[in-house]
Amino acid sequence: MQTVVSGIRPTGNLHLGNYFGAVKNFLRMQEEYNCYFFIADYHSLTTHPTPSDLHVNVKQVLAEYLACGLDPEKATIYIQSDVPAIAEMSLLMSMNAYLGELERTTSFKDKARKQPENVNAGLLTYPVLMACDILIHHADKVPVGKDQEQNLEMTRKFAGRFNHLYKQEYFKIPQSFNYGEALVKIPGLDGSGKMGKSEGNGIYLVDDPKTLQKKVMKAVTDSGPTEPNAPLTEPIQNLFTLMEVVSTPDTLQFFKDKYASCEIRYGDLKKQLAEDIIKFNTPIREKIEDIKNNDVYLNKVVTMGREKAQANAEKTVKEIREIIGIKRF
């Protein structure tokens, strides 16, 4: 059976981008593959959260994973820092990652721009740690959104370089994955760009109906199509992209036809979209609240996950140490 690994940083509540870019795939993959889904708390340290925020967010993401339908009986669900072998592997793998290539990654350049007062070494070596998350379990497939494509390329590069350097096919070369084939980029509703925690445009799984309605009704639009079959402008395309994931195909087609015939009323489009998002997220939001209050269950889940993830990770690190030449006489 093929192995799947993916994680989410606990930097806040999960939004629709996280759900449709990643979690939705996790749910189906846990039925078909040997899955490891984790909470990437080491990675969150690259942005220096306060300890209490980090702690709260780890619990929040765990409750959200479970509320979405991740099943600890089917997938191994764990917290990255519960498996210190990942940190050792990251040290070992960093010896074959080069400054130039790390400095050139888009996410490093973005973060260095966004937090110039905190361009720490963890930001630079972020792709090395991420590669280790994936390679430590010998993953075949990694379900992620489009924004992670470059990190996956780096993972493949590091895996291939290790194999080449030590003259063996030790690591598999993992592929990014989405059931819909192309990786997903869920946009924000502020006109352009992706939905993101740090973009401040998140539509969250925990948002109540009133908040959701407000967020959607505030979405940026344009002055409307002026001729039949006009191409979609970016803000309108963004509304349709969200509709594609939360509404029925008939609803989507209805509004696309209205746009094509210049009869569209953006107020109606937004009202429908808000309604469909509320329908989608209400059962999840209710479950999150229930699960968050159940510390005994949450602890049980991550303790179970830690044991399995740790055993697998320690085996890999032991093998890597031997390959590198760290062994007893």
Q: Which pairs with CB-CB distance under 8 Å and at least 24 residues apart come from 93-102? A: 93/128, 93/131, 93/132, 93/135, 93/158, 93/162, 94/125, 94/128, 96/158, 96/161, 96/162, 96/165, 97/125, 97/127, 97/128, 97/158, 99/124, 101/154, 101/157, 102/127, 102/128
Residue 4 phi/psi, 5° resolution?
A: -125, 135
**Nearest CB to ligand TYM, comparing residues 47 and 272:** 47
Distance CA 275, CA 243 (A): 11
The reply to whether 328 sits in an annotated binding site is no
The reply to whether 11 sits in an annotated binding site is yes
**Nearest CB to ligand TYM, comparing residues 25 and 272:** 25
Half-sphere exposure (CA, 13 Å, Cβ side) for 158? Answer: 30
**Nearest CB to ligand TYM, comparing residues 188 and 225:** 188
111 is catalytic: yes
The reply to whether 195 sits in an annotated binding site is yes
The reply to whether 261 sits in an annotated binding site is no
CB of 268 to ligand TYM, least distance (A): 25
Element at 230 (helix H, strand E) = none
CB of 119 to ligand TYM, least distance (A): 17
The reply to whether 197 sits in an annotated binding site is yes
Q: Rule CB under 6 A: which residues touch ligand TYM? A: 5-9, 17-18, 21-22, 40, 43, 130, 133-134, 142, 144-145, 147-148, 151, 184-186, 194-196
- Longest C-alpha distance within the chain, in Å? 79
Indicate which residue of 74, 172, 185, 194 is catalytic: 194
The reply to whether 90 sits in an annotated binding site is no
CB of 42 to ligand TYM, least distance (A): 8
**Nearest CB to ligand TYM, comparing residues 198 and 282:** 198
The reply to whether 133 sits in an annotated binding site is yes
Going by C-alpha positions, the residue among 326, 327, 316, 324 that lies closest to residue 166 is 324
**DSSP codes, 266-307:** HHHHHHHHHHHHHHHHHHHHHHHHHHHT-HHHHHHHHHHHHH
Indicate which residue of 24, 141, 197, 270 is catalytic: 197
CB of 146 to ligand TYM, least distance (A): 6
**Nearest CB to ligand TYM, comparing residues 64 and 276:** 64
287 is catalytic: no
CB of 198 to ligand TYM, least distance (A): 9
- When computed from its CA atoms, the radius of gyration of the chain, rounded to whole angstroms, is 21
Indicate which residue of 111, 141, 215, 270 is catalytic: 111
> What is the identity of the amino acid at 55?
H
Q: Are 49 and 277 in contact (CB under 8 A)?
A: no
**Catalytic positions, written as ranges:** 111, 194, 197
Binding residues: 9-11, 17-18, 133, 145-147, 186, 194-198
Binding residues for ATP: 9-11, 17-18, 145-147, 186, 194-198
Binding residues for L-tryptophan: 133
